[in-house]
Amino acid sequence: MIQGILGKKLGMTQVFVADGRRIPVTVVEAGPCTVVQKKTESADGYNALQVGFEAKKSHRVNKPMMGHFKKADQGAFTTLRELAADNVDEYQVGDQVTCDSVFKAGDIVDVTGTSKGKGFQGVIKRWGFSGGRATHGSKFHRGPGSIGMSASPARVHRGKKMPGQMGNARVTQQNLEIVEVRADQNLILVKGAIPGPNQGLVLIRKCVKA
Amino acid sequence: MNIINYIGMENMRKDVPQFKAGDTLRVHVKITEGDKQRIQVFQGVCIKRHNNGVGSSFTVRKVSNGMGVERVFPLHGPCVDQVEVMMVGRVRRAKLYYLRNLQGKAARIKEIRQR
């Protein structure tokens, strides 16, 4: 079976469960994904399925890619990703992978997305440094402070937390619970928040831990 | 319709009465103790309505043994069995936080008389 599915984050809301609790959920439009290519142990050295997600107009696709999509004969796609599968033989090129065939309510999943970009940020926002006091003659406000020692080691340690680009990076949120799967609308409701903006591409996979 | 709003609508209750800040409410709250369930009534003045689709809530304030008690209830949650509107109050604010600083007679709210 395929180990994950591609989706689009639609936004957050909440649902009530029978015992009265309310659960924050992120709604993901997951699939249907189309199998475009099979990677097999014999030909490629590993087993995986290349799937396409979200239709793309054919006149926007270049000829080499169109030839690749032709093999599946399900139109062109905006996104192609390889997903691990433990038995590739279950699928044929051109098959549709739907959310209910991969996940059911109660499953624990990891969700990967591209986090919202925050631009170039200082150490207070990026790493949670506490900064200095604002008043009483203080001249140290939001700076990083000392970044190391003197003659020994005479360099800055690798991995030192410094200002820089924050966000817009690949982020995986692990161990989220699937609250509901709606096959007719291709929706998956995941408990809690997931990385990225609304309308962003996300990858839902079976959890690696537990 | 927007899918987020649609899922919210599915989780909304259709039996919520019309009320606003200033109204006196009787809120029947379901309380689960072990495997038994009973209903407790909390009566007081609605001092605030927070309107946010399925996440809407309202705050009810009462004075119990001289101590002000406020509870926030989800408008659409299943833990609220029923909301009764006892009195429709005449107020000039949407959020009645000023009631927290008033006591006794000053904290009364006039009723709108229905004809």
Burial A88-111 (b: 16+ CB within 10 A, else e): beebeeebebebebbbeeebebbb
pLDDT(A210) > 80: no
Cα Dmax for chain B? 49
d(CA B92, CA B99): 12
Q: Please check whether residue A207 touches B, CB under 8 A.
A: no
Token representation of residue B66: 């001289």
Q: Is the alpha carbon torsion for A68, A69, A70, A71 positive or negative?
A: positive
Percent over 90 (pLDDT), chain A = 53
Q: pLDDT for A128-165, tens place per residue?
A: 999 999 999 999 999 999 999 999 899 999 999 999 99
User: Which residues in chain B are contacts of A13 at CB distance < 8 A?
Assistant: 4, 7-8, 11, 53-55
**Contact between chains at A20 and B32 (C-beta distance less than 8 A):** yes
pLDDT of residue B115: 62
Q: Which of A14, A20, A187 sits opposite B79 (nearest CB)?
A: A20
Distances (CA, A) of B8 to A202, B23, B93: 22, 26, 28
Interface ipTM > 0.85: no
Q: pLDDT for A21-56, tens place per residue?
A: 889 999 999 878 898 888 888 888 888 889 999 888
Q: Which of A204, A205, A9, A189 has the alpha carbon at shortest distance from A116? A: A9
Q: pLDDT for A21-30, tens place per residue?
A: 889 999 999 8
**Contact between chains at B4 and A189 (C-beta distance less than 8 A):** no
Q: pLDDT for A63-84, tens place per residue?
A: 998 888 888 888 888 999 998 8
Chain A: closest CA distance from residue B78 (Å): 5
d(CA A58, CA A77): 9
d(CA A28, CA A199): 9
pLDDT along chain B (115 residues), means of 10: 84 88 91 87 93 91 91 90 90 92 87 75
d(CA A127, CA A122): 8
pLDDT(A20) > 80: no
Token representation of residue A205: 């996979």
Q: What domains can you pick out in chain A, each with its CATH number? A: 4-120+170-206 (2.40.30.10), 121-166 (no CATH)
User: Binning pLDDT at 50, 70 and 90, where does residue A116 land?
Assistant: very high
**Contact criterion met (CB below 8 Å) for B24 and B9:** no
* Bridge partner residues of A52 (DSSP): A34, A80
**Contact between chains at A27 and B4 (C-beta distance less than 8 A):** yes
Q: Which of B85, B87, B60, B77 has the alpha carbon at shortest distance from B11? A: B77
pTM for the structure as a whole: 0.83
Token representation of residue B89: 């109050």
Q: Please check whether residue A178 touches B, CB under 8 A.
A: no
- Which run of H or of E encompasses B30? strand B24-33
User: Which residues in chain B are contacts of A19 at CB distance < 8 A?
Assistant: 32
pLDDT of residue B112: 84
A 4-63: CB under 8 A from B:
10-16, 18-20, 22, 25, 27, 29
d(CA A24, CA A86): 32
**Contact criterion met (CB below 8 Å) for B6 and A189:** no
Q: Is the alpha carbon torsion for A160, A162, A164, A166 positive or negative?
A: positive
d(CA B77, CA A114): 33
